Amino acid sequence: MAGPSLLSIGQVMTLLRAEFPDISISKIRFLESEGLVSPERAASGYRKYAERDIDRLKYILRVQKSHYLPLKVIREHLEMMDRGMVPPQLETPRPAPPSETDPVAPPGAPQPEGVRPGAARQQLRLSRAELLEASGLSEAALVELEKEHIVTPRRGTNYYGRDAVAIAIAARRLAPYGIDVRHLRQVKSYASREYGIIEQAIAPYQRRAGGSRKVAADVTQLMIHVHAAMMRIASER
- Provide the residue-wise pLDDT of the chain in tens; the chain has 237 residues: 444 578 999 999 999 998 988 888 888 888 888 888 999 988 888 889 999 999 999 999 988 888 877 788 888 889 888 888 888 777 654 333 333 333 334 333 344 444 444 434 456 788 888 888 888 888 999 999 999 999 999 888 888 988 888 899 889 989 988 999 999 999 999 989 988 888 888 888 766 655 567 788 888 888 888 888 888 888 887
Are 96 and 102 contacting, i.e. CB atoms less than 8 angstroms apart?
Answer: yes
For residue 79, the one-letter residue type is: E
* Cα distance between residue 184 and residue 176, in whole Å: 14
- DSSP per-residue letters across 66-118: HH---HHHHHHHHHHHHTTPPPPPPPPP-B---BTTB--PPTT----TT--TT
Residue ranges, CATH 1.10.1660.10, the chain: 9-82
pTM assigned to the model: 0.51
Compute how many other C-beta atoms are within 10 angstroms of the C-beta atom of residue 65.
17
Compute how many other C-beta atoms are within 10 angstroms of the C-beta atom of residue 94.
9
User: Residue-wise over 187-209: b if at least 16 C-beta within 10 A, else e?
Assistant: ebeeeeeeeeeeeeebeeebeee
User: Residue-wise over 24-58: b if at least 16 C-beta within 10 A, else e?
Assistant: eeebbeebbeeebbebeeeeeeebbbbeebbebbe
| Residue range 9-82, CATH number | 1.10.1660.10
Compute how many other C-beta atoms are within 10 angstroms of the C-beta atom of residue 237.
4
